[in-house]
Amino acid sequence: MLRQLFNFKGGVKPQTNKAPSVQAPIGQAPLPSRLYVPLHQSIGGSPNPLVQPGEQVLKGQLIGSADGWLSAAVHAPTSGTVLAIEDHVAAHPSGLPTLSVVIEPDGRDQWAARRPLDHRTLAPERVRELLRDAGVVGLGGAVFPSHAKLTAAKTVAVEQLVINGAECEPFMTCDDLLMRERAEESVRGIAIFRDLLAARRVLIGIEDNKPEAVAAMQAAVLQLGEDYEVVAVPTRYPAGGAKQLIRVLTGKEVPASKRSTELGVQCFNVATVYTAYRALAHGEPVISRIVTLTGNVEQPRNWEVRLGTPLRDLVALGRPKADTSNYLMGGPMMGFAIPDLAAPVVKATNCVIAGSPSLFPASPPEMPCIRCGACAEACPHELQPFELYWFARARNFGKTQEYHIFDCIECGCCSYVCPSHIPLVQYFRFAKSEIWSREREKQAADAAKARFELRNARAEREQTEKAERLARAATARTAERKALPVKADAAASQPAASVEAAVTTSPVDAEAVKKASIVAAIERARAQREAVQPRNTEQLSAGQKKEIAAIDARRAALADPAKPADATSERTGG
Amino acid sequence: MDFSTPPYVLGETSVRRVMLQVLLGLLPGIAAYVWLVGASIVLQLAMATLAALTGEALMLWLRGRPLRLFLSDGSAIVTAWLIALTFPPLAPWWLIVVGTLCAIVVAKHLYGGLGQNPFNPAMIAFAVCIVSFPALMSQWPVLGLKLSLDEQFKLIAGLAPRIDVMSGATPLDALKTALKLGEGSVDVPTLLATQDVFGNFAGRGWEWVSSGYLLGGLWLWQRKIISWHAPLGFLGGLSLLAAALWMWSPQQFASPLFHLFSGGSLLGAFFIVTDPVSGCTTTRGKLIFGFSVGVLAYTIRVFGGYPDGVAFAVLLLNLCVPLIDMYTQPPIFGMKNEP
Ligand code: SF4
Ligand code: SF4
């Protein structure tokens, strides 16, 4: 199968270290004595717990329902008793606790009712709902709810569906083993995604250091009579980044500001596709995942692990060597140090690496940047990392945005090649979080300002209304007086005087009220105009306007987590 | 183990490694130079290195920086060697010491040390010394001068009279002087053919020194220590201008080949305009930077008052680096079709 491949710029070739963990087939990790299932396991809304402490649950039973569209459900990984719903340490660099359902397995591992379905008989909307309720999320590591990526852009047809089996992170082999052992089901799952997106072509990208996986997938495609292309792509980190793989296979470059569907392409991790197939064709929600356990352990291997299994139980399966000093979750390029082994395996846990001082030597002391440009050469997004670094250090965050800091996918290539050993990614994360928190502050301030203005407007409106009421009353009285002159004349002098007084004052009042209401109306109009066109942007150059528009777009993208996350989802895993 | 931030694996690279390779890249040129003028050049290299490390240590200590870390990064030695290779080989010892200290203390550390200097320190040293000591800086040994090591040492140490042996000139100088004296009655081809100082296609002997630099430079490029943009820009700018004038009047102007292999052309192309700290960082910027240095160097060397123009051209362009970089930012991934 000859197909023109495209090249992405930059990238690095770290030692892959994949061989140790592919020697044994995928093992079934035993059930631990307790499962801690976090309710929030996707980018998006946090599901609400549906069970009570003391309740019996069955394997696959819904325990947390999707909260809103951009969320994914969570299920009981086995049958047993709910002991508690409480905060438990999360598998996150911060180690902060997250609301988790604690389940004591009963050992029977008894399934709840499963309903196998054929996606072709269902409305697309229904399929998306089913995927959401089965908890299908991007298993490459980004855990973006998959159903939310399964809608084509309004105006652009999906030309290519890219299935990401590249798995470029060193050490990681979970997708490799999945493709070797479960190629058929993975390939079957692709049809669901293809049909929902009405994709014209399907390209399965696998790094060429996994010939067994390539062969297995090719055989499965052939056997199922599909017209998918299995493409071996050159091994170079981060070829498994969604954007890099899309580039290599289709030549399209998806900028940070766009969704890939806007360019007629979408990308899913192969493990995601597999779980989608299990969810529909077998009615099995996502309750386990394949995790590579490797590094400084006696027995490196891939395990199918129930979600919620404490990492301590998982790690014990590999028998860590004595000098193991720390554990990484994810690969060494983009992963993080696990702060606490009590944290559970979650949908994002693709790989756990036991580290030792010899495996991951201390990084040499940081030297000043010598502007050698090696980082720019290695950056797959063609950024100028050293410029970003200078600006981030100087806390000149506006400049970092000008130099496209939000296009940085934190792949770590720049840090990898830097002769001065500058932890560049750390600086970029710092800059990004600073910008985010400033945006949040600004949004809060904007909201407060809006509230304040609303209150002012209301007070003003009430005042005007009151004045108008007064004016109406006065006119009414004048009219009344005019209508009844005789009566008034005939009336006793005392009340007439009072009426006279009222009449003489009323027109003046009415005049003032009229003026006031006109002034108020003008004020309102001005305020409206200003709201439409902020004053400080009136006299800007075209360039500045464009810049502001770009910043606004970025801000909008930040406000809408679907967008950037969509674009970067499943970046690692694969 | 630093587990604060990924990546947890790093490539096999360091500033020291980079600098070491630059030094290795200089070796072929140095070897040819030794063959041409004698072991004095080794002495100059050693003195410059010593002066550079001393100056560096002093400044690091004054600035409270870790001594071991920075002294071993090799950057001061690169500067020192470039100075030793651009100064006259038999210059008195103090000249090279003054030049080196000037480069390390002023051009490097007073601007903030490694990575912060806007000007190429070696070129600062050259410029300062040629302005302050023009006579000493233009005393090149007569070609074919065979001095014993002892005599060379005495000259450098200032223990022997300099005048008689030092009347030589660089080929570039010789050409310029001859043309000036001849007032139009001599022409370049005749000069090159008759004068002893000229060899096959450039200065006799110097051709081989330059070829050595070319060799080392290509090796550095192949090792990806330097990119081809700045050198090619430089050599392109120099030879384009040289070719244009040469074609217009071959009687008055030497060929581009002569210029490429004379003076500091090839040393400059591969070891000076490629200095990352004081040069441009974008690919287009490097081309522009190199090209402009080439054009300027030619102009100064042929029409100006100094025998070679590389140093001044580099320093002038160092000033323009921020501007060039700013206007040559490449489009990023996914934005290449944007206006
Ligand atoms: S690789 Fe490191 S030293 Fe080189 S330019 Fe980038 S940040 Fe600076
Ligand atoms: S971490 Fe960011 S800046 Fe560094 S190479 Fe990756 S994308 Fe480029």
**A chain contacts of residue B331, beta-carbon cutoff 8 Å:** 382
Any chain A CB within 8 A of the CB of B14? yes
Tell me if chain A has a CB within 8 Å of the CB of B18.
Answer: yes
A325 close to B (CB below 8 A): yes
CA separation for the pair A52, A55 (Å, rounded):
6
**Would you say B286 and B225 are in contact if contact means Cβ atoms under 8 Å apart?**
no
Q: Which of residues 6-25 of A touch B (CB under 8 A)?
A: 8-9, 12, 14-15
Model-level pTM? 0.82
Give exposure, A87-101, as e/b (b: 16+ Cβ within 10 Å). Answer: ebbbbbbeeeebbbb
Q: What is the pLDDT of residue A4?
A: 83
Whether residue A495 is predicted with pLDDT greater than 50 in this model: the reply is no
A195-232: per-residue pLDDT in tens? 999 999 999 999 999 999 999 999 999 999 999 999 99
Q: Report which protein residue has its CA nearest ligand 1's atom 4.
A: A372
Mutual orientation of helices A424-483 and A542-559 as an angle, nearest 10°? 100
In which element (H, E) is residue A129 found? helix A124-133
**Per-residue pLDDT tens digits for A36-60:** 999 988 887 788 889 999 999 999 9
**Three-state SS at A496:** helix
Name the region of A64 (left: φ>0; alpha: ψ -120 to 50; beta: rest).
Answer: beta
Q: State the architecture of A19-31+118-355 in CATH terms.
A: 3-Layer(aba) Sandwich (3.40)
Tens digits of residue pLDDT in A78-135: 999 999 999 999 888 888 899 999 999 999 999 999 999 999 999 999 999 999 999 9
Grade residue A369 by pLDDT with cuts at 50, 70 and 90: very high
Say whether pLDDT at B49 is over 50.
yes
- Contacts A410 to B, Cβ<8 Å: 6
Q: Do A367 and B15 touch (CB under 8 A)?
A: yes
Query: What is the pLDDT, as a whole number, of residue A492?
Result: 47
> Which ligand is nearest the CA of A334, by number?
2
In terms of average pLDDT, the best of A117-131, B48-62, B130-144 is B48-62
Of chain B residues 269-298, which have a CB less than 8 A from chain A? 276-277, 279, 281-282
Q: Let me know the angle formed at the C-alpha of A239 by A236 and A244, rounded to the nearest 5 degrees.
A: 135
A271 C-alpha to ligand 2 centroid (Å): 25
Whole-number pLDDT of residue B2: 43
- Please give the annotated binding residues of A for [4Fe-4S] cluster, written as ranges: 369, 372, 375, 379, 408, 411, 414, 418
**Cα angle A42, A241, A250; round to 5:** 120
Of A422, A426, A427, the one to substitute when testing ligand 1's pocket (max ligand atoms within 8 A of C-beta) is A422
For testing contact with chain A, the best of B2, B9, B227, B338 (most A CBs within 10 A):
B9
Q: Would you call A373 and B69 a contact, using CB atoms and an 8 Å cutoff? A: no
B114 touches A at CB < 8 Å = yes
State percent of chain A over pLDDT 90.
65
CB-count burial class (<10 Å; 0-12, 13-18, 19+) for A284: buried
Residue nearest atom 2 of ligand 1, based on CA coordinates: A418
Q: Give me the count of residues in chain A.
A: 574
The answer to which of A371-375, A436-440, B224-228 has the lowest mean pLDDT is: A436-440
| Tens-digit pLDDT profile for residues A278-327 | 999 999 999 999 999 999 999 999 999 999 999 999 999 999 999 999 99
A250 touches chain B (CB under 8 A): no
Q: Do B332 and A373 touch (CB under 8 A)?
A: no
CA distance linking residue A69 with residue A42, whole number of Å: 12
| Partners of residue A9 in chain B, C-beta under 8 Å | 333
Given the DSSP bridges, would you call strands A201-207 and A160-164 parallel, antiparallel or unpaired?
parallel
- Is A572 within 8 Å of chain B by CB? no
Residue A516: predicted pLDDT: 64
Give me the pLDDT at residue A443, please.
Answer: 87
pLDDT at B143: 65
Task: From residue B71, give the alpha-carbon distance in Å to each of A377, B49, B75.
Answer: 27, 11, 8
In sequence order, the 6+-apart residues with CB closer than 8 A to the CB of A131 are: A146, A147, A150, A276, A279, A280
Backbone angles phi, psi at A203, to 5 degrees: -120, 125
Chain A contact probe: residue of B4, B10, B63 with most A CBs at under 10 A: B10
> How many CB atoms are closer than 10 A to CB B11?
18
- Minimal-distance CA residue of chain B relative to A260: B334
Q: Give me the pLDDT at residue A388, please.
A: 96
Structural tokens at position A435: 């910008």
Interchain contact A408–B (C-beta under 8 A)? no
Task: Place A546 in a pLDDT band, splitting at 50, 70 and 90.
Answer: low
| Length of chain B in terms of residues written | 339
For position B117, what pLDDT does the model report? 94
> How many percent of chain A have pLDDT more than 70?
83
* A140 pLDDT tier (thresholds 50, 70, 90): confident
**Confidence (pLDDT) at A257:** 86
The domain locations on chain A are 19-31+118-355, 374-435, 541-574
Contact A417 B115 (CB under 8 A): no
Report residue B203: phi and psi, to 5°. -65, 140
* Sequence-ordered strand ranges (E) for A308-379: 326-329, 336-337, 351-355
Nearest CA to ligand 1 atom 1: A418
Any A CB within 8 A of B138 CB: no
Q: Do B2 and A333 touch (CB under 8 A)?
A: no
- Chain A positions in Cβ-Cβ contact with residue B15 (cut-off 8 Å): 367, 370, 419-420
> Average model confidence (pLDDT) for chain A?
86
Q: Within the 336-355 window of chain A, which residues sit less than 8 Å (CB to CB) from chain B?
A: 336-337, 355
Chain A residues 114-173 with a CB less than 8 Å from chain B: 170
Residue A279 near residue A134, CB atoms below 8 Å: yes
Pocket test for ligand 2, best of A168, A169, A417, A424 (most atoms within 8 A of CB): A424
Q: Cα separation of A456 and A471, whole Å?
A: 22
List chain B residues with CB under 8 Å of A373. Answer: 227, 276, 281
What was the pLDDT predicted at A565? 40
Tell me whether residues A381 and B116 touch, CB distance under 8 A: no
Contact A425 B5 (CB under 8 A): yes
Tell me, what's the pLDDT at A505? Answer: 46
Report the pLDDT value the prediction gives residue B139, as an integer from 0 to 100. Answer: 80
pLDDT bracket for residue A2 (50, 70, 90): low
A87 sits in the region (left: phi over 0; alpha: psi -120 to 50; else beta) called beta
Residue A272 has pLDDT above 70, yes or no: yes
Q: How confident is the model at residue B157 (pLDDT cuts 50, 70, 90)?
A: confident
Cβ of A137 closer than 6 Å to ligand 1, yes or no, is no
Nearest CA in chain B to A330: B6
From A389, A391, A408, the mutation candidate for ligand 1 (largest count of ligand atoms within 8 A of CB) is: A389
B266 pLDDT higher than 80: yes
Closest-CA residue in chain B for A251? B334
Q: Bigger pLDDT: B127 or A527?
A: B127
Nearest residue on chain B to A364, alpha-carbon basis: B14
Residue A27 reports pLDDT greater than 90: yes
B contact test, residue of A257, A258, A415 with most B CBs within 10 A = A415
| Cβ pair B3:A326 closer than 8 A | yes
pLDDT the model gives residue A535? 38
ipTM score above 0.95: no
Residue A559 has pLDDT above 60, yes or no: no
Q: What is the pLDDT of residue A574?
A: 39
Q: Are A240 and A167 in contact (CB under 8 A)?
A: yes
CA dihedral A444, A448, A449, A451 (to 10 degrees): 140
Distance between CA atoms of residues A402 and A409, nearest Å: 16
Query: Does residue B165 surpass a pLDDT of 60?
Result: no
Give the Cα separation of A180 and A214 in Å (integer): 8
pLDDT in tens, A150-180: 888 888 999 999 999 999 999 999 999 999 9
- For residues B285 and A154, which has the higher predicted lDDT (pLDDT)? B285
- What's the whole-number average pLDDT of chain B? 88
Transcribe B63-132 into DSSP letters.
HT--HHHHHTTSHHHHHHHHHHHHS-TT--HHHHHHHHHIIIIIIIITTTSTTT-SS-HHHHHHHHHHHH
Q: Tell me whether residues B7 and A8 touch, CB distance under 8 A.
A: no
A13 pLDDT above the threshold of 70:
yes
CB-based contact A361 B329, cutoff 8 Å: no
User: ∠A133-A139-A144 over CA atoms, to 5°?
Assistant: 60
- Which of B128-132, B176-180, B197-201, B333-337 tops mean pLDDT? B128-132
Confidence of residue A502 (pLDDT cuts 50, 70, 90): very low
pLDDT-based confidence at residue B133 (cuts at 50, 70, 90): very high
How far is CA A569 from each of CA A149, A240, A422, rounded to the nearest angstrom? 10, 11, 27
Pocket of ligand 2 (CB under 6 A): A 378-381, 383, 385, 408-414, 424-425, 428
Nearest CA-CA distance, residue A178 and chain B, Å: 26
Percent pLDDT > 90 in chain B is: 64
Task: Give, in order, the Cα–Cα distances in Å from A493 to each of A157, A486, A487, A500.
Answer: 88, 13, 11, 10
